[in-house]
Amino acid sequence: MREINDQVTAELEKKAKILRREVIKMLGKAGSGHPGGSLSAADIMACLYFWEMKYDPQRPDWEERDRFVLSKGHVAPVLYAALAESGFFSGEKLASLRQLGSPLQGHPDLRKLPGVEASTGSLGQGFGWAVGMAMAAKLDRRDSRIYVLLGDGEMQEGIVWEAVMAANQYKLDNLTAIVDNNGMQIDGHLSEIMSVEPIAPKLKEFGWNTREIDGHHIPGILEALEEARNSKGKPFAIVAKTIKGKGCSFMENQVDWHGKAPSADQIDQALRELA
């Protein structure tokens, strides 16, 4: 068991800041995209890719690897940043986000980019895909873990709850779902549109082990991931309370930043704040 200490925390905080900076630069160059949810998920992504998951960028199809599914596929920029920083492809490719012919499309496409495990974007379907991966790993007796990140707004989709039931039915304790609980979706606050709260108690009633955390507190994220890894007999859900647009003062908790790119001046300000 690896020790979680101040040095580990500092290194992962640095990685999360790198991911956030790359998100800002990518969206600024592309002139479109989804910054709010990408920034809220950066700490979680840093912990997954630079601490928790086992994979080999030189062998993206390695059978025994852990698999990550970005069910909220519109926040592809933070996934692309994590894959580039992990060595799956050159960071120079990030500048091609959303350009015609680029493998870095607005939503992940597993046919075009190494490290992408599922083509996602239609909300909820990635979660079902992750459940299928976890079932396959069990049937193949592979020691692989499956991680899936979904948004709280995404949980309004009925397919999510079908997947939740299936994961419990088949005792998929190799599956960890992480909910990016920033409380907002494209049209506004979840509480004003269709509340999905309380998330953790609902998942527990559906047979899951659950833990609620601060999604920007690195030690807490790592402890929750360790608990999930050691959980037996049930799938595990981490409900991570986050701030949409985290790290950029003018974006934080502003629903308008769900899906628009920053201006040149805003890019400069964001990068200064993330320095």
pLDDT at 119 over 90: yes
Residue 236 CA to residue 83 CA, distance in Å, equals 24
Residue 170 CB: number of other CB atoms within 10 A?
15
In CATH, the number for domain 6-273 is 3.40.50.970
Residue 39 CB: number of other CB atoms within 10 A?
30
Residue 246 CA to residue 36 CA, distance in Å, equals 7
Mean pLDDT for the stretch of residues 113-130: 96
How many Cα atoms within 13 Å fall on the side-chain side of residue 39? Answer: 33
Residue 114 CA to residue 39 CA, distance in Å, equals 22
Instruction: Give per-residue pLDDT as tens, 58-91.
Output: 999 999 999 999 999 999 999 999 999 999 999 9
DSSP sequence for 24-38:
HHHHHHHT---HHHH
pLDDT at 264 over 70: yes
pLDDT at 1 over 80: no
Residue 69 CA to residue 193 CA, distance in Å, equals 26
Return the structure tokens found at 237.
Answer: 């859900």
Q: What confidence score (pLDDT) does residue 241 get?
A: 98
Mean pLDDT for the stretch of residues 111-136: 97
- Domain locations along the chain: 6-273
Residue 178 CA to residue 201 CA, distance in Å, equals 14
DSSP sequence for 42-81:
HHHHHHIIIII----TT-TT-TT--EEEESSGGGHHHHHH
How many Cα atoms within 13 Å fall on the side-chain side of residue 115? Answer: 22
* Average pLDDT of every residue of the chain: 97
SS3 percent helix, strand, coil of the chain, rounded to 5, is 50, 10, 40
Confidence at 228, pLDDT banded by 50, 70, 90: very high
What is the H or E stretch that residue 132 is in?
helix 125-139
Instruction: Give per-residue pLDDT as tens, 5-28.
Output: 999 999 999 999 999 999 999 999
Q: What confidence score (pLDDT) does residue 2 get?
A: 83
